[in-house]
Structure 1
Amino acid sequence: MSKSIAAMPTDYAEWLADIRARVVAARQRAALAANAELIRLYWQIGRDILQRQSAQGWGSKVIERLARDLREAFPEMKGFSARNLKYMRAFAEAWPDPDFVQQLAAQLPWFHLCTLLDKLKDPALRLRYAEQARAEGWSRTTLELNIRNRLHERQGQAVTNFGTRLPAPHSELAHETLKDPYLFDFLGLGDAAHERDIENALVRHITRFLLELGSGFAFIGRQFRLEVEGDEFFIDLLFYHTRLKCYVVVELKAAAFKPEHAGQLNFYLAAVDRQVKAPDDRPTIGLLLCKTKKRTVAEYALSGIDKPIGVAEYQLVRALPEPLVTSLPTVEELESELGAIESELRQGGDE
């Protein structure tokens, strides 16, 4: 006798997908809850160390003994090294408010917090980067990169006309999305690179380019074709921004900003709004990336433009850090050194 095979319910696939989604969500909530408990535990241990050191005056030897005893008591747990206990103390010292730990710090992984303690001494900057890391879901690598590249000095610094071309609060969010300058030193190009060379390199390094642009940018394409009354036009780079809910047209100029650049980009934005933008998308934004710009010239140029545009510089070769600059010899010192070498050579020849 053949066994009858029960037919699957018609909605089985949808039901299975729903269960999978709930399992994933539950695992994420469990991981976040476990992380929050761990961060609170580390803060409490760090607070205790601070209080006892202050009251009893003991030093690092007690921390080393505590680390050894905790590892023996909990061999299955990592994180009880003497070095990590010192991080806990620094954590509690940097953020003594338990409410802050509960509301923000507990939502970040431990090594994010260690990075903030290591890389930033200014409490206000630590708080700023902590809030942004949580809001945008930065990895530890992204957090370190943004700190090293001094994101706080560049974010929201582009010249824009968003205040008069976009409604609030969308205009503020769009303005904060752009930077000035953008750092493209990862391309390995010199300052004399042409526009097409830069464009090609940015596409080859699209992951690094998206990291530099910031959260929310999705790459659509390069040399994006538009046709207007039989004429072809090509956009350098086209993106969609998932938080701003709009297309972003990026034009590269391997020269100083000129007012006519804004006019050309204004045309592209109008074409994208007519031909590409969906009815529920917000107005398309333009970003002009120029080798250099004069801020007042850019402000004047954008004041007469209908579409929302930002102007920013890019750097292919990052400026030398200050300590290195001051340690390099001057031209006069090099000439003096060369003169001394030539004199020694002449004396050697006479002998």
Structure 2
Amino acid sequence: MDSINQNFLQDISELLVNARKQAKTAVNLSMVYAYYEIGHRICEEEQQGKERAAYGKYLLKELSDYLSKKFGKGFSITNLKQMRQFYLTYRNDQIGQKVSDQFKNLPTVSSGRKFFLSWSHYLKLMRISNIDERHFYEIEAAKNGWSLSEMKRQFDSSLYERLALSKDRDKVARLALEGQTIESPEDAVKDPYVLEFLGLPELPEYSETELETKVIDHLQKFLLELGTGFAFIGRQVRFTFNEEHFRVDLVFYNRLLRCFVLFDLKIGELKHQDIGQMQMYVNYYDRKVKLEDENPTIGIVLCKDKNNAIVEMTLPENNTQIFASKYQTVLPSKEELKKLLEEQDNELE
């Protein structure tokens, strides 16, 4: 008797795994909608009490006892308060229509609001007081399928503030409506990049080779830091020109911009020669590697420190291909970035 085809067995196994994942996601999402409605009913019932504060406390205690006996764990007074807060936070809250349309099959609550994430995600989101920032992380988590830990990491690395600092007012407003949009080379570049997951010291007590190796070792997290649409092509990618050999540290492709993105890693301060070298790499890829229907190559020199005046003087006017960005190996201070945002806003006014 012939043995069963292993590919067939694997295919069946993957079908069941995916089905269970989808079922689990559907159950988790159903509970989010249920918790919203529970919060709604609690608020309505509390408003009918003659002495709201005392009545509310008594109501939650009795409801907690009743639900715990009937359904088991998960309905403590603290949890019921969170459901009430969930309703109060989102009852008059609307998400961007463009994002909502991407999830057409999801139901809506009475206000027309949709929910896309797990209850754990929303417990974290409710603690973000800035509504625009809260919308941004909800949209990005839904669009990119971020786990709770991934969303927390992006929040801790101040992704919203870092993107907002590099955009004008109109584009900052779009962050809260659509999340991060990649429509031009500038949209794909961050400054700074936060690489705390590499586990490297704040001071450059390591070589560029060690930095590159750490990036490859943590490639999945590095891709998450890069943002939407990036695919890894290779490290130390060699090309030969005029009988000389050159190597690009890291090569990626962005499927949204439809272009190659080259990274050169520098552990010290950026020099004008570094920008010139990247210009040569970009020119080679544009002339020898990219296809006719692909867009011009982007080059990013990732450095520990840079002098903006040198960067501006070295790069051509109306530059859209070569960028210099700082990186840091510790999480930035959200307070400092928020202060910078406020100062930038005041300057615009």
Instruction: Give TM-score scaled by structure 2 length.
Output: 0.72
Counterpart for residue 117 of structure 1: 126
Alignment of 1:147-226 (within 5 A): 147-155=155-163, 157=165, 172-186=183-197, 187-193=199-205, 194-226=207-239
Give 1:62 deviation, angstroms. 2.5
Structure 2 spans left out of the alignment, 5+ residues? 1-6, 96-106, 168-180, 337-349
Counterpart for residue 87 of structure 2: 92
Counterpart for residue 107 of structure 1: 116
| Structure 1 residues 171 and 28: alpha-carbon distance in aligned structure 2, compared to 1, 3 A threshold | closer
Alignment of 1:314-333 (within 5 A): 314-318=327-331
SS in structure 2 at match of 1:282: coil
| Structure 1 residues 274 and 199: alpha-carbon distance in aligned structure 2, compared to 1, 3 A threshold | same
Letter in 2 for 1:71: S
Give 1:85 deviation, angstroms. 1.8
Give 1:112 deviation, angstroms. 1.0
| Structure 1 residues 259 and 60: alpha-carbon distance in aligned structure 2, compared to 1, 3 A threshold | farther
Counterpart for residue 137 of structure 1: 145
Could you say which structure has the larger radius of gyration? 1
Give 1:316 deviation, angstroms. 2.7
Counterpart for residue 68 of structure 2: 71
2:278/2:299 contact within 8 Å kept: yes
**In structure 2, what is the Cα distance between the partners aligned to 1:184 and 1:99?**
33
Counterpart for residue 47 of structure 1: 40
Give 1:234 deviation, angstroms. 0.4
Letter in 2 for 1:117: M
Structure 1 spans left out of the alignment, 5+ residues? 1-12, 160-169, 324-351
Letter in 2 for 1:314: Y
Counterpart for residue 59 of structure 1: 56
Q: For the aligned residues, what is the CA RMSD? A: 3.6
| Structure 1 residues 133 and 174: alpha-carbon distance in aligned structure 2, compared to 1, 3 A threshold | farther
Residue by residue over 1:221-272, the C-alpha shift from the partner in whole angstroms, topping out at 9 and shown as x without a partner, is 2111011132110001111223333221011122223333222112111222
SS in structure 1 at match of 2:315: helix
1:238/1:249 contact within 8 Å kept: yes
Letter in 1 for 2:257: L
**In structure 2, what is the Cα distance between the partners aligned to 1:97 and 1:26?**
34
1:262/1:305 contact within 8 Å kept: no
Instruction: Give TM-score scaled by structure 1 length.
Output: 0.72
**In structure 2, what is the Cα distance between the partners aligned to 1:173 and 1:117?**
32
Counterpart for residue 135 of structure 2: 127
Matched positions, count: 299
Residue by residue over 1:185-229, the C-alpha shift from the partner in whole angstroms, topping out at 9 and shown as x without a partner, is 333234133322212222222233223222332222211101113
Alignment of 1:199-278 (within 5 A): 199-278=212-291
Give 1:28 deviation, angstroms. 7.4
| Structure 2 residue 316 is the aligned partner of structure 1 residue 286 | no
